[in-house]
Structure 1
């Protein structure tokens, strides 16, 4: 049963990554969008628990650690998609099983039998082969540092999730704590950034600043004209500099879109905790990492990144590893 939960979670997280990649190309506030993602999870888990009435225990406080690690991982993954190649970021963020398996052994002495270990290796081999021959070199690793940070954050989140289940924490209270913690962190970052940007924007839009810039260029007449235009129109400096740039999404639209994306994140987390409760942490994390297959399918269909033969081989090996796990369950 854990395999079914993990596979469903992998699909949800794959959809989340696709939506992150799409959102990273849009003119929106990253922090506000991610605030919407976690705010949606908070509201959803509170609403569902209002009907189910799962009890709050001390174990649910593990959600604070989960929220912190998830905050770091989501920030890093989103940034990676914004500056790097989607498939490269997807592959690196799919490697937490290595860290999770090692952490589970160190923390709880959780071991795998020969077949389980073999299936884990097959899955990881498939993921590595997918990217082995596709320009994976030092000159083409843009965004990799963010992807590695995201990988470590997701691994720590997986280990915290497993710990919450070992402490018999209920799913919904734990997730509510997690999403609320993440919401507070993203709100703090967004608020700090927005407060910092407002005076800067006001300074750029002021007639004095415009006149000063123009005078430094040695054109008094054009400075007067530009100052008058700035005073009358109040057009932001960045818009004047780049008329073809699409307007930035308003706050309400960004937050609403983030909450829409949050449905995939919340659904995945609701599935991942039962999977960790029933299965070995390293194996569950490995199955969830196969969400990379969905991401690669997206990059092929919509971003027109072609599959090479090694990639196709890697996809086949990864699927074979999951099937091997199913046979050995």
Structure 2
């Protein structure tokens, strides 16, 4: 059953990634949009928590929920920023390295060991990144959003570990998500109020979205986010940390399909080789157990 939950998480997060990429190309206030993403998650989680009579049973559960809010704030902000300044395919690959980071951190924190196949996946993925790093249009001086993709991958890996920790603490899922989305909403709302106009380019020829339209769009994107979180925490409750994270990372395939069919992005041979190698490495990780 955990495989179904993990695949559902991949689907919902993949759709979220596509919507992030689409909105990142609009002349909108990013913080306001992401405030809407988290606010709808908070409302849905709070209603579900009350309806199902869920609650927080100890301080550790509260701390994990709040930490998830901070981690999600950082991860979603980095992902959306990456899509706004870099190639969608590259950002999706780098942010898709989450399962690799999860495997490493799970080994350090919980002594979950790497199998030979997982180690092979590790080497293949970083070989792919090395090739991408030396592609024609990516350099130390022109990363084209790669740093944001890597930051998003790291933050999402922290979220996966915290999600797993919430299940180890036997925390109620919607109580945890209420704290996560609630705290994340506050952080994005504060960021929006502090920098209302800095993210809008007054010289941009594209139509500027109103605050209402931006927030409502965020509410729509947030539906995919909350569904993905419910699915992945349910999977973590039943499956192993690294494998669940790896399967849910299949969302990058949805994003890549979108970039090829809809955006019609073209790649150099070196980029294709690097992207393909990285994907093969992630597939190797998924097949390991």
The answer, yes or no, to whether TM exceeds 0.5 is yes
The structure whose residues are more often helix, as a share, is 1
Task: Provide, for residues 181-225 of structure 1, a one-character-per-residue CA deviation record: whole Å limited to 9, x for no partner.
Answer: 10000011001112xx49xx9xxxxxxxxxxxxxxxxxxxxxxxx
Distance 2:282 2:120 in 1: 12
Q: Structure 1 unaligned runs (5+)? A: 202-236
TM-score by structure 1 length? 0.76
Aligned residues: 280
Residue 172 of structure 2: aligned partner: 170
Distance 1:25 1:10 in 2: 23
Deviation of the 1:124 alpha carbon: 7.9
Deviation of the 1:98 alpha carbon: 2.2
Residue 157 of structure 2: aligned partner: 155
Largest Rg, 1 or 2: 1
Q: Please, which of 79, 82, 85 is the counterpart of residue 80 of structure 1?
A: 82
8 A Cα contact 1:125 1:318, kept in partner: yes
Distance 1:270 1:190 in 2: 26
TM-score by structure 2 length? 0.85
8 A Cα contact 1:28 1:248, kept in partner: yes
Distance 2:250 2:163 in 1: 18
Q: Please, which of 90, 99, 102 is the counterpart of residue 101 of structure 2?
A: 99
Q: Which 4+ runs in 1 deviate beyond 3 A?
A: 119-137, 306-325
8 A Cα contact 2:7 2:247, kept in partner: yes
Residue 89 of structure 1: aligned partner: 91
Residue 118 of structure 1: aligned partner: 117
**DSSP-derived class of the 2:195 partner:** helix
Using the TM superposition, name which of 265-274 and 145-154 deviates more: 145-154
Residue 72 of structure 2: aligned partner: 70
Deviation of the 1:313 alpha carbon: 5.4
Output aligned runs, 1:269-288, within 5 Å.
269-288=229-248
Task: Provide, for residues 233-254 of structure 1, a one-character-per-residue CA deviation record: whole Å limited to 9, x for no partner.
Answer: xxxx94xxx5x82331111111
Residue 255 of structure 1: aligned partner: 215
1:299 equivalenced with 2:262 (yes/no):
no
**DSSP-derived class of the 1:69 partner:** helix
8 A Cα contact 1:83 1:143, kept in partner: yes
Task: Provide, for residues 224-278 of structure 1, a one-character-per-residue CA deviation record: whole Å limited to 9, x for no partner.
Answer: xxxxxxxxxxxxx94xxx5x82331111111110010001110110011121122
Deviation of the 1:135 alpha carbon: 4.5
8 A Cα contact 1:7 1:288, kept in partner: yes
8 A Cα contact 2:94 2:149, kept in partner: yes
Deviation of the 1:317 alpha carbon: 3.8
Residue 324 of structure 1: aligned partner: 287
1:12 equivalenced with 2:12 (yes/no):
yes
Q: Please, which of 286, 289, 305 is the counterpart of residue 249 of structure 2?
A: 289
